[in-house]
Chain A
Amino acid sequence: MLEKQRNAQMYLPVYIAAILIYLLAGILQPRFLSWSNNVNLLTRIVPLLLAGIAQTFVLLTGGIDLSVGAIIGLTNVVAASLPFSGTAYNIILWLTVPLLIGAAIGFSNGLIISRWGFPPFIVTFATSTIWTGVALLIMDVPGGDISLGLYRTITGKLFSIIPVPLLLIIFFVASSYIVLRYTSFGRSIYAMGGNKQVARESGIPVERIELYAYTASGLFAGLAGMYLSAIMVSGDPLVGDPYVMNSIAVAVIGGVALSGGRGGVQGIIGAAYIFYLIDNLLNLLGVSTFYQYVAKGLVIILALTLTSRDRGLLLSQNHSKFTERLRRPNTKRN
């Protein structure tokens, strides 16, 4: 009961804000509410959602993954430069190779971070530069091609009524929710994000969980790269650039604490909508695109200061800071 109440407190504001912005956009421009515009919105939100989920897995462990963008870029160009274009082989390769690459990069990040105890920020920063370089080696300018069938499938409709992107959103958010909430892997992520030392002492294989969390992050980033290649029908080595910071912003607006252990994917759809709708709304209002930067900055700051969970953070700040300091010497020695 208590957890349910807290969940409502955490995630309700995000969805209320998303709905308000959505309705405001609808009032300003009735065409905004049209079915086709909504399908279009869904199509565009998927990669942001996938990147946000990727980031969530790692943020919950108390780490950070700056290589999300590089993985998206690399898997994107790999997906667009697969051989046998237009045949079934191509589609089979498209479904497997980028995913494996994404997971492998995530795995290698996790290995460096968990085995050697290096700070995630700087490790993923370094690997992100490396993998962006590799992506540029494969394709230095946007190009390549994707089977048109893939494009049609992904932007199409199931039974000619349910848009496929909607299904993808439901599937990926639900499956990551289930993994985080109901599997021992997911619960261990929360435990180690809450307090690494306590988690280790209560028998959780912290290093392995951390390794898997980064692998999951790479996997979801790979999915985002694949998806982007399908809707763009081509590859672009730098397509992932904005997703590094946007994925963090979406996860944080969606209620994930950067200190780890708190939050989840429950708020992420609302957060992605808020993040994406701001641009849309300002366009509808005829405001210069320059103001969108200001608006985005303000929304992130507002989301952090106004939501109830952060007031909670402020109140318990002494406590959490203190335990953080207690943990630090141990994590340093690793």
Chain B
Amino acid sequence: MQMPKPSMVNYFKQQKVILLLLCVIIGMLIIGEVLAPGFSSFKHIQTILRTASFVGLAAIGQTLVILTGGIDLTIASLITMGQIFGCLFVNASDANLWWSILLILLIGGGFGLISGLGVSYLKISPLVMTLAVSSLVNGVTLISVDGAPKGRASPILEKLGAGSIAGMPSMVWIWLILTLLVVLFLRKTILGRQVYHLGTNDIAARYSGIRTARVRTMVYVLSAMFSVLTGILLAGNTARPFLGIGKEYTMWSITAVVIGGTSMAGGSGGYLGSVAGTIIIIMLEGLLTVISIPEAGRKIANGLIILVMIMIYYRQNKKR
């Protein structure tokens, strides 16, 4: 099978989006520094990046799924599951850490498999399928700890989730490495390009020999695994288990992907945009908190920024 390359037009369009997002980030840093001196200090930027890294990891899965034209609503429940199970299995001992991570990734992947199979083989709408699976995940999480989460993270896990390596939060390193891998995966591997083809034109993808159902299922499995991984790392960040810790992550991840310029219809966009989108929403949240805007105002601002971004993106599409 011949590998179709991304066209130059698409390439420049994507670069333009990233450039625009970078301008937004720099603009916000300047506004932040004016409103609250110290907002753009190296230390505070590190804090922003650490908070953003958790959302960013969750947004990897969401980006992949949205690129295929789907949506993943299981992210919140899977992050909570990862966090609760992380504390439960690791139980403050580094000896338990590695098999725990493996086991949780497998459990998460299993739920991703259910979503993926439902979406690609039973042709259930991803919205409803992942909604149903997220209900399942919530149930399983609650049942397995009987409503009262126990255990705690181990030293290594805490170092990963809350500590620093070489002067930067270790989460930022993890995010950087995973970003690199995901961008390479989407741009340079056959499987990565197939994810785009699924979103652009499912029928054409099938006729050109792509095993669409299999690739689609894989995307949901990957997304679920990234979600539980985020959960495990969050366990390292908080040390103690919290029910409902992942609650906001589904919406955050969708917002990040949309601000990042990935089309909800699938087929265009990329992870770098989502990275910028993640940083923007976390910075906005921080900025509004700094100038003591209540939660109500933060919500309104969040909604408005999404509306403004889609207006910008859709105007670009029209011109094209």
* A residues whose Cβ falls under 8 Å from a Cβ of B: 64, 112, 116-119, 121-123, 125-137, 140, 245, 248-249, 252, 258-259, 288, 290-298, 300-301, 304-305, 310, 313-314, 317, 321-322, 325, 328, 332-333
Contact = CB atoms under 8 A, between A and B. Distances in A.
A332 to B, nearest CB: 7
Contacts of A133: 295-303
Contacts of A252: 125, 128
A126 B264 CA distance: 14
B124 interface: yes
12 contacts: A136-B299, A140-B294, A245-B131, A288-B147, A294-B143, A300-B131, A300-B132, A304-B118, A304-B129, A310-B123, A314-B123, A332-B317
Contacts of B204: 325
Contact of A117 (B124, B146, B203, B314): B314
Contacts of B310: 118-119, 122-123, 126
B294 A305 contact: no
B85 to A, nearest CB: 15
A155 B186 CA distance: 57
Contacts of B303: 126-131, 133
Given A133-B297, A140-B296, A291 B128 contact: no
Interface in B239-269: 251, 254-255, 258, 264-265
B304 interface: yes
B306 A126 contact: yes
Given A116-B311, A134-B300, A293 B135 contact: yes
Contacts of A317: 123
B23 interface: no
Contacts of A301: 118, 124, 129, 132-133
A82 B169 CA distance: 50
A252 B125 CA distance: 10
B229 interface: no
Nearest to A120: B264
A296 to B, nearest CB: 5
B128 A258 contact: yes
A309 to B, nearest CB: 12
Interface in B264-320: 264-265, 294-304, 306-307, 310-311, 314, 317-318
Contacts of B128: 248-249, 252, 258, 300, 304
Which of A128, A133, A333 gathers most chain B CB within 10 Å?
A133
Contacts of A131: 303
A197 to B, nearest CB: 16
Nearest to A127: B303
B201 interface: yes
A19 to B, nearest CB: 23
B317 A298 contact: no
Given A132-B299, A136-B299, A305-B124, A293 B139 contact: yes
B30 interface: no
B191 interface: no
Contacts of A259: 125
B309 to A, nearest CB: 9
Can you list the 10 inter-chain pairs with the closest CB atoms, starting with the nearest?
A293-B139, A133-B299, A130-B303, A294-B139, A297-B135, A129-B303, A136-B296, A133-B300, A290-B142, A297-B136
Contacts of A293: 135-136, 138-139, 142
